[in-house]
Amino acid sequence: MSANVGSPRTARDSKAQASEQAIDQAAVGVWLFGARGLLAGELLRLLELHPRLSLEGAVSRSAQPLSQAHPHWLGDKLTQTSEEAVDQIAKRLATKDKAAVFLALPHGDSAAVVAALHQRLGKDFERLALVDLAADFRLADPALYRSAYGHEHPAPAELAGFAYGLPELNRAAIQKHGRAAAAGCFATALQLASAPAARAGLLDAKLPWHFFGVTGSSGSGAEPKPGTHHPHRHGNLWAYSLEGHRHQAELVQCLRPLGMEPPIVFLPHSGPFARGIHLTAALPLARAATTQSALEIYSQAYAGEAFVEVLEGRVPDLRSVAASNRASIGVHVRGSVLCVLVTLDNVVKGGAGQALQCMNVILGFPETWGLPRFGLGVC
């Protein structure tokens, strides 16, 4: 019944392993922009586990050993300027077929780097595997971007070149485009919670869809802020973005092709922990359903997915998914409401892990490469 990621091998794993002999054994060089940020530090940890990706350059505004910004990383790489990295990437593509770029920059900064890469690389830009971890290219509609972020998109001409980076829902487009905008952390949970039921015609789009989410302090990034200061965060809980969270727009984009634009009521909260998102969705049913029939819809939707598990008889918890690229989903029907619970690590499946999963899709690697599926457990 459930899509069980705990088994030794999923259907997708078997297919990936059968095709490994066809994969180019040479390492693909990686350049990381925004190398001092929190998600960049997590991406460095994951890249150490990857058998085919090799860090060639790390870009930061201030030159320093990368290990100073990320003591958990034991490499000796020095940060470099954006111009130096772009020149290296151009030389790499001139002599090799592949190069990969991760943009782990603040929201709004990626567009300028993409423009610089496009101008410098010319026709070779189309051979560059690129994943943006920020919000710059997640929304294909400039009007939706303006509505969510309050200003015009800085590079509308580049939007069509990016696929939305949530592999479980958009895998084919990611592979086709070769560039992806990794989905936001809350947006990932919102869509994993509601997309299967929406696609099955199970939900009423005329009534409000309610979401309650709690996120860890890592969602605020590496720079200290009053809301992430430990004495304030510990033992505390509060709501924010009461007028609407920006990640709602990614759910709107997901639902539009289905002809659905329900009123979305999403209330995010800041929780007293560092990693993780716990999302509760209360979704109005369009027709009668049982917990068992809803479970079948979700299990079929995520069958064979290495990083999504649909639980039966138990509820998701944060500890089980922390530090992994796994999302856990619980489904329950109460009267006319479908209740869906989702837990994931906002830094991994909601951030760096999602980006690496997208890059694996782009390069034709098994999606599990470099990505842990098991959480921290009880320790």
- Alpha carbons 27 and 35: distance in angstroms, whole number: 20
Q: Yes or no: say if 305 and 6 are a contact pair by the CB < 8 Å rule.
A: no
- Alpha carbons 234 and 369: distance in angstroms, whole number: 35
Q: Which of 46, 85, 9 is nearest to 345 (CA)?
A: 46
β partners of residue 333: 338
β partners of residue 153: none
Q: How many helices (H) and strands (E) does the chain have?
A: 13, 14
Dihedral angle, C-alpha 224, 225, 230, 233, nearest 10 °:
-150
Neighbours of 348 (CB within 10 A): 32
Three-state DSSP state, 188? helix
Burial status of residue 101 (CB atoms within 10 A of its CB: 0-12, 13-18, 19 or more): buried
Let me know the angle formed at the C-alpha of 103 by 95 and 159, rounded to the nearest 5 degrees.
95
**Which letter, b or e, does each residue of 212-225 get, where b requires 16 or more Cβ atoms within 10 Å of its Cβ?**
ebbbbbbbbeeeee
Q: Which residue is it, tokens 């409401």?
A: 337
Helix axes 353-363, 167-177, angle to 10 degrees: 50
Give the residue numbers marked as catalytic: 185
Q: Yes or no: say if 237 and 270 are a contact pair by the CB < 8 Å rule.
A: yes
- Alpha carbons 251 and 172: distance in angstroms, whole number: 19
Q: Which of 168, 339, 352 is nearest to 275 (CA)?
A: 352
- Alpha carbons 210 and 193: distance in angstroms, whole number: 11
Q: Which two tokens stand for residue 152?
A: 């015009």
- Alpha carbons 44 and 352: distance in angstroms, whole number: 9
